[in-house]
Amino acid sequence: MPSREYVATKAYIGLYFSAAWCPPCRAFSPKLSKWAKEHEDDVGVIFVSHDTSEKEMLGFVQNKNFAFMPFRDRTFTTLNQILSVSMLPTLVIVNRSNGKVITHWGRTCVEKNPDHCVEEWKNGRAGVSW
């Protein structure tokens, strides 16, 4: 499991709002973990848990390529509010150098454009086209 220091070296941070009890999260998390490993030079994923217990969270992130916030860290509510997270799973991609949100549609980028979304982010685009 990556450390926070590992994530801090990346150009892009994926804030992954998810939970073990959420069926779409359970389906997407292995895909995201694999994708994060393939793109580890550029992207670090931080799991922001919506689980009901720390034990549940730790079990869910085990063997995944995610760093994670401490369970119910005080920034949890702030992140949810600032980023307007209203559904799970949500993957918000942030440019680490300037803190700007690139897209709230990170999940769609990873699912629909996994091989090219990072390159699109580098070129100032959202990572997926409709």
pLDDT tens digits, residue range 85-108? 999 999 999 999 999 999 999 999
* Residue 26 burial (C-beta neighbours within 10 Å; 0-12, 13-18, 19+): middle
- Residue 65: what are its φ and ψ, rounded to 5°? -90, 55
pLDDT at 129 over 80: no
Distance CA 3, CA 107 (A): 22
User: pLDDT band at residue 80, thresholds of 50, 70 and 90?
Assistant: confident
How far from each other are the two terminal CA atoms of the chain, in whole angstroms? 33
pLDDT tens digits, one per residue of 102-127: 999 999 999 999 999 999 999 999 89
CA dihedral 26, 15, 88, 122 (to 10 degrees): -90
Quickly list DSSP for 61-130: HTTSS-EEPPTT-THHHHHHHHTT--SSSEEEEEETTT--EEES-HHHHHHH-TTTHHHHHHTTS-S---
